[in-house]
């Protein structure tokens, strides 16, 4: 049999290299033609014998990956499962990565029942876990992709989540036996699986796998490991169905503890703030988290400001960004402005402080979120929150040379493009308040800037300025009293004209202009 499929390694190397580096995707026809010339058993045999030709293994691995990526190639995988098994345990990291990817191709292109049966029959899952734990980074990633594909099928759920917690393949048991790097990889796998669907997330919750994440957050002996786990929590915070399950854990309390821990590394506190902000920014957060948990987090962030010096600018900016994320939701913004004292006072104070550029920038964006720029509705909050917002801005203005809120806003628009963009966002949200609308339309310099289509040179700046212009016009024309006032008729007309011109440097006059130039002389 081996003689029948023997091939000249030199010819195979050349043909496999051409196949591997062919631009674009291969068709089933071209793949079939290639395998007619060089049968799959011959390629596998050559790869296993490691013929002494430089670069042969790399070329054959790349070639086989492209073969199995096609539907025709994937249809052959069930007949070569022994090769996959050998590959998963190979010494070569490239071969192991290929084997893991081959499992993914099998799962993606084969009937899911048959694929799950093959995985069970050949005991593939434990080998994938081994690749995850002790493979290099590329092998671990490929293994994780394959396991995620397996868990995405109802038939594969029972393999990835065994009924008994005592199974060697139970992810909780696996994490206990691993090195710190192995544990982080297992946790990364749990996070990837969690994102598949709410049903998989429920299985993870029932298996108490989130408790492993909690345990690693509690263990602050290894800063790098804790930081890695916090990054994974940041991914969990992005999962659409995550809040429902994360609210059942003590993770919010743990995040609050890290934020409050003055002896912890600044980077850990910063990440904890960002994750908490991301979690609490979800519109459904109040459906699963009680208000006391919100207040605990806000209190922890609030107290950190008392200790933050100018040398801890990064942590201060993270705190401001976290407050801005929380304030992007109606409930979060209301709470930020209703605590005693309001946690949002730090945001207002920093937003108009020109001493530190990055700090002011973070605060302006945060205040824009709180004011409702990111909310499609419910921009205006309850009376208590609104009164506190108004009071804090007027107090800030009175303690500066600008004296009025309009003076503060104008000073923001007169700064560099980054600060100006944040200023547009802030005005877009704030203008929904009648008192702020009056401040803005009473200051001609502000109207001149937001209606000037030549102020911004970058696309995002142009669009944000135009959106700000539309928000002012909408607020002005929605007020029967103001729109009927002749003093503001000119402003409304100017805003309307600027809106009609669009955001992208449109000119009032586009007629052809004569060009006069001197004659060329020779």
Q: How far is CA 157 from CA 117, 194, 366, in A?
A: 12, 12, 42
Q: Cβ–Cβ contacts within 10 Å for residue 68, how many? A: 25
Residue 421, pLDDT score: 95
How far is it, in rounded angstroms, from Cα 50 to Cα 80? Answer: 19
DSSP letter for each residue of 439-480:
HHHT-HHHHHHHT-TTS--SHHHHHHHHHHHHHHHHHHHT-H
Q: Cβ–Cβ contacts within 10 Å for residue 248, how many? A: 10
Instruction: With cut-offs at 50, 70 and 90, classify the pLDDT of residue 234.
Output: confident
Average pLDDT for 155-169 = 86
Buried b (16+ CB within 10 A) or exposed e, 264-296: beeebbbbbbbbbbbbbbbeebbebbeeebbeb
User: Across the chain, what does the average pLDDT equal?
Assistant: 87
Mind listing the pLDDT tens digit for each residue in 364-422? 999 999 999 999 888 899 999 999 999 999 999 998 888 899 999 999 999 999 999 99
Residue 178, pLDDT score: 86
Residue 50, pLDDT score: 66
Instruction: With cut-offs at 50, 70 and 90, classify the pLDDT of residue 516.
Output: low
Instruction: With cut-offs at 50, 70 and 90, classify the pLDDT of residue 2.
Output: very low
Average pLDDT for 434-456 = 91
How far is it, in rounded angstroms, from Cα 211 to Cα 347? Answer: 34
Residue 509, pLDDT score: 46
Domains of the chain: 1-160 (1.25.10.10), 250-400 (1.25.10), 401-506 (no CATH)
Residue 220, pLDDT score: 64
**Quick check: 89 pLDDT over 50?**
yes
Residue 514, pLDDT score: 57
Nearest to 430 by CA among 417, 440, 419: 440
Q: Cβ–Cβ contacts within 10 Å for residue 411, how many? A: 16
**Quick check: 435 pLDDT over 60?**
yes
CB 243 within 8 A of CB 284: yes
């Amino acid at each position: 049999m081996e003689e029948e499929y023997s091939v000249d390694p030199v010819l195979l190397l050349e043909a496999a290299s051409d196949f591997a580096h062919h631009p674009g995707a291969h068709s089933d026809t071209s793949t079939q033609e290639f395998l007619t010339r060089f049968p799959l058993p011959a390629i596998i045999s050559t790869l296993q014998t490691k013929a002494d030709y430089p670069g042969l293994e790399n070329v054959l691995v790349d070639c086989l990956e492209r073969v199995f990526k096609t539907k025709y190639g994937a249809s052959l995988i069930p007949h070569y499962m022994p090769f996959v098994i050998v590959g998963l345990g190979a010494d070569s990291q490239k071969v192991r990565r290929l084997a893991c990817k081959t499992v993914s191709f099998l799962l993606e292109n084969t009937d899911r029942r048959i694929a799950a049966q093959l995985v069970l029959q050949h005991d593939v899952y434990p080998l994938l876990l081994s690749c995850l734990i002790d493979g290099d980074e590329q092998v671990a990633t490929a293994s994780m992709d394959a396991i995620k594909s397996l868990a995405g099928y109802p038939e594969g759920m029972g393999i990835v989540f065994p009924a008994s917690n005592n199974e060697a393949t139970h992810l909780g048991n696996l994490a206990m036996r691993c090195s710190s790097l192995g544990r982080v990889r297992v946790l990364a796998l749990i996070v990837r699986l969690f994102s598949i669907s709410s049903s998989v997330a429920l299985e993870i919750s029932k298996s108490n796998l989130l408790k492993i994440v909690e345990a690693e957050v509690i263990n602050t002996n290894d800063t790098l490991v804790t930081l890695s786990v916090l990054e994974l929590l940041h991914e969990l915070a992005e999962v659409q169905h995550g809040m429902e399950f994360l609210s059942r854990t003590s993770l919010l309390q743990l995040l609050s503890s890290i934020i409050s821990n003055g002896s912890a590394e600044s980077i850990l506190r910063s990440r904890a703030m960002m994750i908490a902000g991301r979690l609490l920014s979800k519109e459904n957060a109040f459906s699963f988290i009680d208000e006391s948990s919100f207040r605990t987090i806000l209190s922890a962030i609030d107290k950190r400001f008392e200790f933050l010096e100018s040398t801890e600018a990064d942590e201060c900016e993270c705190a401001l960004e976290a407050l801005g994320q929380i304030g992007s939701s109606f409930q979060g913004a209301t709470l930020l402005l209703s605590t005693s004292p309001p946690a949002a006072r730090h945001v207002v104070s920093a937003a108009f402080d020109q001493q530190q550029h990055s700090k002011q920038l973070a605060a302006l964006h945060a205040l824009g979120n709180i004011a409702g720029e990111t909310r499609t509705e419910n921009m205006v909050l309850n009376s208590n929150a609104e009164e506190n917002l108004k009071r804090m801005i007027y107090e800030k203005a009175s303690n500066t040379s600008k004296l009025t809120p309009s003076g503060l806003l104008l000073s923001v628009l007169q700064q560099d493009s980054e600060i100006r963009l944040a200023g547009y966002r802030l005005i877009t949200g704030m203008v929904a308040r009648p008192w702020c609308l009056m401040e803005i339309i009473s200051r001609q310099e502000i109207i001149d800037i937001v209606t000037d289509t030549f102020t911004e040179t970058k696309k995002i700046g142009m669009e944000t300025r135009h959106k700000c212009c539309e928000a002012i016009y909408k607020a002005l024309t929605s007020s029967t009293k103001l729109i009927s006032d002749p003093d503001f008729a000119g402003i409304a007309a100017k805003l309307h004209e600027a809106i009609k011109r669009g955001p992208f440097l449109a000119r009032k006059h586009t007629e052809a202009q004569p060009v006069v130039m001197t004659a060329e002389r020779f």
